[in-house]
Structure formats: structure tokens, C-alpha cells
A and B are shown apart, each in its own frame.
Chain A
Amino acid sequence: GAGVSQSPRYKVAKRGQDVALRCDPISGHVSLFWYQQALGQGPEFLTYFQNEAQLDKSGLPSDRFFAERPEGSVSTLKIQRTQQEDSAVYLCASSSRTDLNYGYTFGSGTRLTVV
């Protein structure tokens, strides 16, 4: 596709519910990142994939958060037993290179509200 596509755009979950957020990167992009952006804050790094390999998951806030990219294209961020503090916009970004001087393309994000 022309850009990074994220779905759903909005998700309301009851506390304790599991959610899955999808990211379709630009076709052929090797690197894929997930970020979490709380209201009024800058995005914070969650995890990084190079093709299907998850090379860095140091930003995942707890073991309730899990990300995968099994075939090196589409990625899913799963949050189990959601809590109110998980409410945020989840942003996905992809890059055609592994050299980070080539920049990223960000998706529009999924806004998660936990009630």
C-alpha cells in the first residue's frame, strides 16, 4: 500500500478484555516499530522487528503486552487483561532500511480506550 495502515482506528475495551491491534507496513519494509503515545505525551518505544525477528522488546511495559510479525510483513500487538493505564494511541512505523538514518513512515495509530 501507499502508507502504513493500522486497524482498528478506535477501540474501546472493557477492563480485563484482551485486544489485538494490527499494523500493515509499507510493502517490502524490513523494519517495523510499535510506539505507545499517552494523551499529551510524546510516543514511547515498545518494540522493534527486523523482518520476522523481534530484535528489541525492551519497551513493552509488562508481560500483558505481546507483539508478533510471523511472516515479516503484518504485525499484531496484543494486550491481555487490559487496564485503564493502557489507554493510549498505539503507533506503528516502518522503514525500508535497517539503517535508522533513512527515517520512518508512521501510521495514523489506533486509539485504545479502556473503560
Chain B
Amino acid sequence: KQEVTQIPAALSVPEGENLVLNCSFTDSAIYNLQWFRQDPGKGLTSLLLIQSSQREQTSGRLNASLDKSSGRSTLYIAASQPGDSATYLCAVTGAGANNLFFGTGTRLTVIP
């Protein structure tokens, strides 16, 4: 079964700092990898989706990379803002699977 791990579990940074969130997965036979944001009491908002043939995706201040062979992805957030405070979840879709396998998330706090 696919196992997805996210490190660190929690991160607190001052506003304006650049930061990196890490995600690793055990089975490299994936269809895609997604990064989601979850605010307290809310559903998940998709941030970036990287297909298995891609190496990275960018959206605004966010950049996600994928190294399928080593089973790793990173989410880079530039010039962090207090509004970025949320839990960030990494999820993979296994090849031939219908569903996402999620990590346990990184809870990010950006201090004004």
C-alpha cells in the first residue's frame, strides 16, 4: 500500500521568509501528485497538480517539484504571508488507482 509522509508536521516562520515543505512516497508508480491547502473547518483546495511525466509546476508564489524515481516532492513557498497559514497536504494517485493517498500534512503558521 502506498505510504505518504510529510515533514515537518508543523512549521512556524516569520512573514516574508521563503520555505520548503517536503513529501515522500513509497511507491514510485504514481499517476500524479497534488498539493492541497486545508483551512480549519474547511475542505481541501487544490494548489498544484504534477503529472507523472512532469518535473515541476508553478502557480504564483508556489512551486512544486517531483522526483518520481526517489519518491519525493517539495512545495516551495516564496515570500510567505500570514494568509498562507494553513495545513498543506500532499497526495498521490497510484497508477491504475481511482483515489488519492494523502500524507498527514504540514501545519504552517506565518507570523506577522
Contact = CB atoms under 8 A, between A and B. Distances in A.
Q: Do A and B interact?
A: yes
Interface in A64-115: 91, 93, 100-101, 103-109, 111
A48 B44 contact: no
A101 B51 contact: yes
Nearest to A56: B98
Interface in B73-112: 89, 91, 93, 98-105
B26 interface: no
Interface residues of A, number: 25
A59 interface: yes
B105 A42 contact: yes
Given A101-B31, A103-B34, A108-B41, A42 B102 contact: yes
A40 B104 contact: yes
B43 A91 contact: yes
Interface of B: 4, 31-32, 34, 36, 41-46, 49, 51, 89, 91, 93, 98-105
